[in-house]
Amino acid sequence: MQKRIIALLLVVLMVVLSGCAGKTTEPSKTNEGTEAVKTQVIKVAFNQPENHPQYKAMQQFGEKVFERTNGAYKIEIFPNELLGPQRETVELVQTGAIGMSIVANSLVENFNKKFSILGLPYIYDSKEHQNAVFTDDTIVGDLFKSTADNNFIVLTAFHAGARNVYTNKAINTPADLKGLKIRIMESDTNIKMMKYMGGVGTPMGQGEVYTATQSGVIDGGENNELIYANMKHYEVAKVYSYTQHLMIPDLLIINKALYEGMSEEHKAIFNEEIKNATTAEVDLWEVDAEVAKKTAQDNGAQFVYPDIKAFQESVKPLHDELTQDPEFKKLYDAIRAKAETVKK
Ligand code: GCU
């Protein structure tokens, strides 16, 4: 714990000494005689490794932005929680210590509960449906700007696979989850979701899941195949059951002043390129998830495929509860209506 605090202080110090990410400028290389373009470096916090599809999509975004703004903006990604766990990086973005971070939707729900609609269990029919929602400004545009009072806005929502439960036994029905403590992300909606699904949701940061499962503090977790394999969770929870309960996105957040300080032309480039990266990431995901699954299987993990109908039924009260507010219901209906426009 103490080590972690010291590490975090060092990170903050590093960021501060480097002149505040997102505000750092460096002259970009120009031919002699031409006027130097000032390059603004935007630091992006990311809690997963360089092989992750979101990292690759952000790299692509960075290249395009650099090229199309003629070197005015350079995107620098810090993977593997180098700038701290997600919750803390939200604060770094809010203060402007860093420019951007990729954080789970669940964390942003704590600023505006309406985001919980984007993270409802079984709300999307497919990843294509989800992508159509995330790239449609008439559905998500206002929502993404709604956190401006908290000094950040959301630039996009990235696909993050489907989440499935893993523990040391097969989960085929909600009854199989009875009494099991399953780690969930830190949000009220997730706690309720796990209760409706039959288990006991235990919120904690992703980095603590391995040890907590190993020591028996929890019985397992729920996550996509990439985390299950990359973080070697299969070593402590051997059965991965395809409950497919959540297709919850990760949000790319940006410091408000940084975004608002851009010219209209640059804003348009950011918006266009982030939509391209959002769509490209969905395809990258498929390939990487297969590789991750194979790695887990090779290391002894078992994959089981329950009939998900009982789980879908079990979480319906959560849909009803969250759509009581007419504004929430409007967003919910727009998401569901979009499903009809997407070929299955
Ligand atoms: C997913 C998600 C991350 C999140 C993690 C978690 O991997 O992409 O943003 O941190 O789950 O369970 O905490």
- Residue to substitute in 44, 46, 47 for testing ligand 1 pocket (most ligand atoms within 8 angstroms of CB): 47
pTM of the model: 0.89
Residues in Cβ contact with 241 at an 8 Å cutoff, skipping those fewer than 6 apart: 164, 165, 166, 170, 171, 172, 303, 304, 305, 306
Is the beta carbon of 251 within 6 A of some atom in ligand 1? no
CA of 264 to the centre of ligand 1 (A): 32
List phi, psi (to 5°) of 121. -60, 140
ipTM: 0.97
Our answer on whether the CB atom of 281 is closer than 6 Å to any ligand 1 atom is no
| Fold match between domain 15-26+38-160+249-289 and domain 163-247+291-341 | yes
Nearest Cα residue to 314 out of 176, 219, 193: 193
Runs of H (alpha helix) within the chain:
2-17, 53-68, 86-95, 105-109, 127-134, 137-145, 188-197, 209-214, 225-230, 256-260, 264-298, 309-314, 316-322, 326-341
Pocket test for ligand 1, best of 185, 187, 285 (most atoms within 8 A of CB): 185
Rg from Cα positions in the chain = 20
> Which H or E element spans position 52?
none
Residue nearest to atom 8 of ligand 1 (CA): 160
The alpha carbon of 231 and the centre of ligand 1 are apart by a number of angstroms equal to: 11
Residue 96: exposed, middle, or buried by beta-carbon count in 10 A (0-12, 13-18, 19+)?
A: middle
- Label the pairing between strands 100-104 and 250-255: antiparallel
Residue 47 alpha carbon, nearest atom of ligand 1:
10
pLDDT for res 26: 56
Q: Where are the beta strands (DSSP E) in 170-247?
A: 181-184, 200-203, 221-223, 239-246
The protein residue with its alpha carbon nearest to ligand 1, atom 12, reads 206
Q: Which atom of ligand 1 is nearest to the CA of 226?
A: 7
> Inter-axis angle of helices 137-145 and 326-341, to 10 degrees?
140
The answer to whether the beta carbons of residues 295 and 229 sit under 8 Å apart is yes
Kindly report, residue by residue over 241-269, the tens digit of the pLDDT.
999 999 999 999 999 999 999 999 999 99
**Ligand 1 atom nearest 54 alpha carbon:** 8
- Written as six digits, the tokens of 93 are 């973005």
Residue closest via CA to ligand 1's atom 11 equals: 223
Closest CA to 159 of 222, 246, 77: 246
Residue 33: the pLDDT is 44
* pLDDT at res. 268: 97
Tell whether ligand 1 has an atom less than 6 A from the beta carbon of residue 86. yes
Residue 205: the pLDDT is 87
- Pick out the chain residues at pLDDT < 70: 1-36, 344
Q: For residue range 291-338, list pLDDT tens digits in order.
A: 999 999 999 999 999 999 999 999 999 999 999 999 999 999 999 999
| Both tokens assigned to 272 | 């266009």
For the chain, give every domain's residue range.
15-26+38-160+249-289, 163-247+291-341
Strand partners, 42: 75
Query: Tokens for 160?
Result: 């993050």
Between the CA of 227 and the centroid of ligand 1 the distance, in Å, is 7
Residue with tokens 């990843």: 127
Q: Which CATH number describes the domain made up of 15-26+38-160+249-289?
A: 3.40.190.170
Superfamily of domain 163-247+291-341: Bacterial extracellular solute-binding protein, family 7 (3.40.190.170)
